[in-house]
Chain A
């Protein structure tokens, strides 16, 4: 049964999480379409036909001039207006890893109200403090007061991070606005949910204020470094074999039935 919620998942130019992101959106109830960036830029595919747009992980254009920089530029100059219209008419945008890097370079994030267009580059994702690419699972605490529509009902979660340029950075005024507007959707935390307070590896990249993901003031544009599409099967979790044994010993079903 195909859903009437259409999700567009970008592919091409070195992006590499398109298949699993489309799979995740399908599991979430959408009809996912993998669309090559060129098809969108050439307007062979129109954004107006979609409700959700996903900027996925990868290394767009090789990422040699700063992660997401070229993709952001191509999107802005090619379909910047369509993109703005898509957001303004209530479309949802999620940017994961390279997609997050791209969104902050387009200015769609944080899209702070009050800025002239609300769409200038005011935050950045820069080289990890550890100086290297890192793949690890992190614990995240969610700001329940955030307007973000993607995290409603969530307080915490675990996801993998896989990046070399994920350190969130901005000046103190911008940070203050993000805090007060609850645009900091999720922060790196320890396993008990307490803030990582910059500690490595709980905070894997040195992000200021442990920022892992932010949204725009509407909550409909969301970007994060961790990969939600990489945790859509119980066996994705690094501790699943331990949970399985615990459950079996306690005569509980495993995998646990999904909450409805």
Chain B
């Protein structure tokens, strides 16, 4: 008989969780609650004696703070809401509870017996009606893709005598079956593809059919008892060919026309021409580039004994549907990439980038989640995923634009470190060998995450399967991470890769290519519950799993270590040299495909790209006279959503665990202003560090995605340089997030223009990286950032995001004691500006503030930038700069304010000293977003040395740091046009999100 234990805080203790629910009920739903108390429920599906129940009670109840009972706790409520997992959803607390009970009572749980955790909320609110209670349950407390709930009024509760014990056990009385798919015609196969949600590309279908109709193939298949393709084989092909895994868009053939000039280009693969080619060429010249373009992440030299490993991912579609689970799965998932790079890397830091609609959006569109809730969920997902992984989240950015309401963007980036050599072999090299065991480590396989890959290759709509949302489990993964590093160091790992998109289908399929074949025994794969079909086992994206190749002679030691670390590992097959991907279940073949079939020439995707220049689009500069009230203007600029303080997010993330923190995300006298970049010491007995930064500037795509891209790269590079990174050894990671670029007269009428924007962006990436000597250590693309949202009148409107590219920059800092922060340090210091300020306010924050877009988008002069980068980096290396800061969004005014706020000192600036190629009005100088610019402060006695060093770069001394804590800017008229106290500036900058914690 099952038992249910309810645990809650003693009545005299404040319930912080309950308070959060109360606050959100009001913030999200406008429902006022008097009091909320949370009860934690353990449902134990096992027979226990009264004594055993008492023992369990003792273990799980804190006598100091909690009360508990095996019958419902008699708390007062007007409404009570129970929320628990749906059957089959990973219940990690339940698992640890079972583990503990088994250990504490020395009992055994029968197969199928388990412990399930849930929560019961007691709501006090006068006059709360049933609908409101239901909304609180459905929209606030429960997460309908993974949780179920029950709502009771006080009366109902008393009448029914509570809700009884809920055991969400999965019961699938279903015998696993392999289905053969008819392929008599292309139409038939396409029909099956749609019906099974395979998302096969119609153009691929003839190639697929041709293979299965081939005489030789059929003969081999008959010998194995197979006829036409099986569902599992088509699932394998479908995910391997999906845009997410195969990057068909970037590998596509583009016909590009500039409608204004008539110039045309034919581009065979943006990936080959703009990313792969340049990077390989650079790898030739740069010995520090260790491994790029083939593994789960790129590797670069950290020191003689170590490489650092980096990759960046996005998790947009899942996060858009279920913000918390999607984002958490994103961060936990990207952490498996370095673990699966080379022989395996230890994770040392993470970064995030969130793009959503405005937090206070009040317009007509009704997205599944309002941006405020979506952002809160995403923030929380990355918090739990990152913090519980024990990996510092040292850098992040948030960008608001209502174009992201169709689909939000969640960028997650991971850096790891690995030895250069393991047991005499290069750690970044790996291959599978025929005879090696295929081992699956970590979590078990369930129905969760099926068709994730194919779904993320589609535009979000109501028919997108919610099944592909999972809850990441950082606890299970952390245990696996620790175990795998031990196995790695003992030389037990020959090959390792993660199970992410596509599950075993990807990890085994890709790793088998090295050996030249594989044989997998699907019945051996450990399942969360019985009843999965073979194809589901094969493509399930259940998280926290790695696939490892272990040589037979090492298998015993590998499993011994695995047991010591309480990690589940299973041999599920072996690598072969058969040339075949051979899947079996209970001895019967269910898939038998030539591995090189995926290499066969599937038709290349083709795109028409038509560029309409800003002029032809009718963009023009606004007609604008200089403002009078600069003080107010500057304060309101500082309060703009994309500029203001987001400290509440930063502080939720552990950015110091592992003990290597050098430059934190928040710096300055009061440790509350955003740093340009982060610096971490991944190897604690070394004085070397890794500088890391990211940038994204989607606003510029409104004018030209080419300049959006070069400006983004320039910003990321400057961010790394001002904290002390070298200017000439920077690695990059590109993450493209683009709307659908496939033209369609009715569903995507501007597809050709979006395609042209992508072409220009990729060519800009190539041009800037070549000019700055930046190899692309890693990169990913995520297309289809579009959504169809319900409008005011029951219509739906398609919303496409601004073309967005996040760029990450990393560099090794030789000596962290030379690092610099952006806060001004000492009164009397001289303020220098490096770089030209031009009439470049197109798509700037200033224009946006006034409701304009304009046309003069900032443009990167790579030659000038290089000189400026070098000047600043050299000055920092010589220890000459007291503070260094880049000038980014918002321009000079905003970034002077930030440096002053950080130092809690004043600055006096003379605008007439600012280097401008052509004369500019004061407001343009203050708010121009010209790239390549820096603000630095130096001790007066270093003036001569600094100025000689800066020769060859554009620079000027524009003022000084002063004791009196006010920012004073003198304009062209000579007199002060800005005079604001630092406190006032800071108040304005913090005000928008100041009440959030």
Contact = CB atoms under 8 A, between A and B. Distances in A.
A-B interaction: yes
A69 B7 CA distance: 14
Contacts of B479: 12-14
A70 interface: yes
A178 interface: no
A150 interface: no
A62 interface: yes
B63 interface: yes
Interface string B806-832: 000000000011011101011000000
B475 interface: yes
Interface stretch (A46-54, A111-119, A134-142, A182-190): A134-142
Given A19-B684, A64-B117, A74-B103, A160 B819 contact: no
Given A12-B482, A227-B656, A235-B817, A126 B671 contact: no
Contacts of A131: 16-17, 19-20, 997
A17 B13 contact: no
B177 interface: no
Contacts of A23: 659, 684-685
B681 interface: yes
A57 interface: yes
Contact of B654 (A19, A20, A135): A135
Contacts of B16: 126-131
Contact of B100 (A36, A57, A70, A135): A70
B816 A235 contact: yes
Interface size class of B (residues with CB under 8 A): 35 or more
Interface stretch (B660-668, B784-792, B963-971): B660-668
Contact of A133 (B59, B652, B823): B652
A193 interface: no
B659 A126 contact: no
B657 A235 contact: no
B14 interface: yes
Given A23-B684, A59-B388, A61-B96, A14 B656 contact: no
Contacts of A229: 659
A162 interface: yes
A65 interface: yes
B669 A19 contact: no
B140 to A, nearest CB: 15
A26 B816 CA distance: 21
B253 interface: no
B913 interface: no
B93 A126 contact: no
A129 B15 CA distance: 9
Contact of A245 (B17, B96, B882): B882
Interface in A84-109: 105
A235 B679 CA distance: 10
Contacts of A74: 100, 103
Scoring A61, A169, A232 by chain B CB atoms within 10 A of each residue's CB, the highest score goes to A61
Scoring A69, A135, A230 by chain B CB atoms within 10 A of each residue's CB, the highest score goes to A135
Nearest to A201: B651
Contact of A38 (B14, B564, B659, B661): B564
Scoring B9, B16, B474, B663 by chain A CB atoms within 10 A of each residue's CB, the highest score goes to B16
B104 A77 contact: yes
A241 B684 contact: no
Contacts of A62: 92-93, 96, 388, 475
A105 B62 contact: yes
Interface in A58-80: 58-59, 61-62, 64-66, 69-70, 73-74, 77
Contacts, number: 188
Interface string A21-56: 001100000000000101100000000000000000
Nearest to A235: B662
A16 interface: yes
A236 interface: yes
A150 to B, nearest CB: 18
A121 B390 CA distance: 27
A146 interface: no
B655 interface: yes
Given A12-B482, A235-B817, A20 B390 contact: no
B64 A121 contact: yes
A148 interface: no
B60 interface: yes
A236 B661 contact: yes
Contacts of B663: 241
A155 interface: no
Interface string B658-702: 111111101101010000000001001100000000000000000
Contacts of A69: 59-60, 62
A154 to B, nearest CB: 20
A238 B671 contact: yes
B653 interface: yes
B203 interface: no
A19 B652 CA distance: 22
A135 B656 contact: yes
A38 B475 CA distance: 16
Contacts of B564: 36, 38-39
Nearest to A170: B64
Scoring A58, A105, A241 by chain B CB atoms within 10 A of each residue's CB, the highest score goes to A241
B478 interface: yes
A13 B479 CA distance: 6
A226 B821 CA distance: 25
A135 B62 contact: no
A131 B996 CA distance: 11
Contacts of B93: 62, 64-65
A232 B656 CA distance: 12
A122 interface: yes
A258 interface: no
Given A36-B565, A74-B103, 20 more contacts: A14-B390, A14-B475, A19-B659, A23-B659, A36-B564, A65-B96, A121-B64, A129-B16, A133-B653, A134-B651, A135-B653, A136-B671, A137-B671, A227-B656, A230-B661, A235-B662, A235-B819, A236-B661, A236-B662, A248-B879
Chain A to chain B: the 9 pairs with minimum beta-carbon distance, closest first: A16-B390, A20-B659, A64-B93, A62-B475, A127-B16, A124-B64, A245-B825, A131-B16, A241-B821
14 contacts: A14-B478, A20-B659, A23-B684, A59-B478, A65-B100, A73-B100, A121-B64, A124-B64, A126-B9, A134-B651, A169-B13, A233-B684, A244-B817, A249-B939
